Amino acid sequence: MSIVITGASGRLGRLIIKELLHHVQPDQIVACVRQMDSAAALEEQGIAVRFCDYDDPASLKEAFAGASRLLFISSPHPDDTVRLRQHAHVVEAAKKANVSHILYTGFAFPEHSDMSMTHLHLATEHAIRTTGIPYTFLRSGLYMDFIEALDLQAAMSTGHLRVHPGSWQFNAVTRTDLAAAIAGVLSGEGHSNKTYELVAPSVWTFNDLVSSLSELTGTPISLCLTNEVQHWIFSFLRKIDTSSTSGDLENLLGRPPASLKASLQSYIGEVRSN
């Protein structure tokens, strides 16, 4: 089996490779990167590294040669129209390279939103279906990192978490859990033509957030809803589905995904060590 991974130098890609090494030998993995010098650590582990640029179709066909499984990690480009073109290059190259199975990391519950980002992910899934190649859609939930936009440091120092008003509910996941689930699918069997919503089985609210934060810091932190908070994240969150749940991630992991409190604990640890 040859597992070819795009976006291998990124945060999710690196974690997936780390997890994958628990399931397969390093010589079964091919890491595709844009900057070859960023991949020395992978090569040292016996992982083949190939050049791949979503804007350079020829590089993609060469990078995907011999792939029995291609993990296509979505482009981080901020313009979804550009991303659509880049993704079309990847899908076309996968077809030309006779890839046996494409696994794509999209976004959870894309049908529930009407915005360019979710249209892009749906369009990519449809493009993959046009190839006739067996697929697996790994629809990632909102990364837990979004909480960084909430200025938790200010909340910890002032005792007030200020957020934009609304009846917010969140289903957010860690890259570590996504990586463990994706690595299991990549190296396992029985996932052909399946779509997984990689989100948690339950949601949390800002009240849950301040309660966990208070407990972890030992300082009472209260919630303050105010229109004065105008961060772009709130208009983004309003447009996507942040509250639907699924058992897919838990089933694939064979354990519950990280709780809000556990995720906050690592976040606070990182803040305190910086």
Q: Is 143 in the site for ligand NAP (CB under 6 A)?
A: yes
Q: Is 54 in the site for ligand NAP (CB under 6 A)?
A: yes
Q: Is 10 in the site for ligand NAP (CB under 6 A)?
A: yes
Q: Is 236 in the site for ligand NAP (CB under 6 A)?
A: no
Q: Which is nearer to ligand NAP, 86 or 187 (CB)?
A: 86
Q: Measured between alpha carbons, how far is residue 51 from residues 78, 184, 220, 226 in Å?
A: 22, 25, 51, 48
| Partner residues linked to 142 by β-bridges | 172
What one-letter code names the amino acid at 8? A
End-to-end C-alpha distance for the chain, whole angstroms: 41
User: Contacting ligand NAP (CB under 6 A), which of 2, 3, 5, 9?
Assistant: 9
Q: Is 113 in the site for ligand NAP (CB under 6 A)?
A: no
User: Contacting ligand NAP (CB under 6 A), which of 43, 55, 79, 270?
Assistant: 55
Q: C-alpha dihedral over 82, 100, 173, 88, to 10 degrees?
A: 10
| Positions in 245-274 near ligand NAP (CB under 6 A) | none
Residues ≥6 apart with Cβ < 8 Å to 216: 261, 264, 265, 268
Q: Is 121 in the site for ligand NAP (CB under 6 A)?
A: no
Q: Is 12 in the site for ligand NAP (CB under 6 A)?
A: yes
Smallest distance from the beta carbon of 101 to ligand NAP, in angstroms? 20
* Cα R_g (the chain), whole angstroms: 20
Q: Is 35 in the site for ligand NAP (CB under 6 A)?
A: yes
Q: Which stretch binds ligand NAP (CB under 6 A): 68-76, 159-167, 181-189, 263-271?
A: 68-76
Smallest distance from the beta carbon of 187 to ligand NAP, in angstroms? 19
Q: Which stretch binds ligand NAP (CB under 6 A): 73-81, 205-213, 214-222, 229-237?
A: 73-81
Q: Is 212 in the site for ligand NAP (CB under 6 A)?
A: no
User: Contacting ligand NAP (CB under 6 A), which of 140, 212, 242, 246?
Assistant: 140
What span, in angstroms and rounded, lies between the C-alpha atoms of 157 and 176? 28
Smallest distance from the beta carbon of 262 to ligand NAP, in angstroms? 18
What span, in angstroms and rounded, lies between the C-alpha atoms of 170 and 153? 20
Helix (H/G/I), strand (E/B), else coil: 174: coil
Token duo for residue 65? 């040669």
Q: Is 52 in the site for ligand NAP (CB under 6 A)?
A: yes
What span, in angstroms and rounded, lies between the C-alpha atoms of 205 and 230? 19
Instruction: Go through 62-83 and write b for each residue having 16 or more CB atoms within 10 A of its CB, e for each that does not.
Output: ebbeebebbbbbbbebeebeeb
Helix (H/G/I), strand (E/B), else coil: 215: helix
Q: Is 137 in the site for ligand NAP (CB under 6 A)?
A: no
Contact footprint for ligand NAP (CB under 6 A): 6-7, 9-13, 34-35, 38, 52-55, 73-76, 86, 107, 140, 142-143
